[in-house]
Structure 1
């Protein structure tokens, strides 16, 4: 996504069976966070690709973003040394 000709965000997605997607990475420049840009990228996926389920795996730093969007959060425990990971699932209505 661009704002004033500057790239401020990006999202990488892997699609499965045409109705499910996995967010591999999502990033928004720190100065642009809190403006709904990350959420708008997920809404774009749902609307334009007719996705029914979205999954993501993340750490503590980003888990609140997914929770606030409406993803169900499940702890995967300490998947990497000293790093708790979470599985995030969202069912599109």
Structure 2
């Protein structure tokens, strides 16, 4: 189940999940948390399963109804169990975007490729890391039209 954390008090478990899986510097976690709190356009959701926080997805919706993923974090012990794909599917149901886009590294691109995203190579970032644009065109079921 996705729980909107954008405007709520950030639980210690959410902070710990960000620290353990993505940001190793507590000041970086503070920056990310402040960014989501201050932004009117960014949303942050935590995925809970059996009363445990498993992962986080952060995104914006642009004027073309495109969902731009800025964070997708799965707790290390829960990886390779389908949670990342599940979080994206729940987000599609919740927000009904026309397209999903994210920019990621090679490992992230492999994940997104495996769940049906189209991958395009981009120039390296400032640190020299190879970057990839991952795009998924969301199909509307004929029954929903």
TM over 0.5: yes
Scaled by the length of structure 1, the TM-score of the pair is: 0.90
Q: Which residue of 1 aligns with 2:106?
A: 60
More helix by share: 2
Distance of 1:18 and 1:44 partners within structure 2: 20
Residues in 2 aligned to 1:86 and 1:74: alpha-carbon distance in whole angstroms: 6
Q: CA RMSD in A?
A: 1.3
User: Are residues 1:82 and 2:113 paired?
Assistant: no
Correspondence for 1:37: 83
* Alignment correspondent of 1:15: 61
Whole-Å separation in 2 of the counterparts to 1:60 and 1:90 = 17
Aligned residue for 1:75, secondary structure, equals: strand
Q: Counting strand residues as a fraction of each chain, which structure ranks higher?
A: 1
Runs ≥4 residues deviating over 6 A:
none
In 2, are the aligned partners of 1:46 and 1:52 still within 8 Å (CA)? Answer: no
**1:6 equivalent in structure 2:** 52
What is the CA–CA distance in structure 1 between the aligned matches of 2:76 and 2:127, rounded to whole Å?
26
Residues 31 and 61 of structure 1: CA distance in aligned 2, closer, same or farther (over 3 Å): same
SS at match of 1:78: coil
Gaps of 5+ in 2: 1-46, 140-145
Give the secondary-structure state (helix, strand or coil) at the position aligned to 2:101. strand
Q: What residue in structure 2 maps to residue 48 of structure 1?
A: 94
Q: Match for residue 72 of structure 1?
A: 118
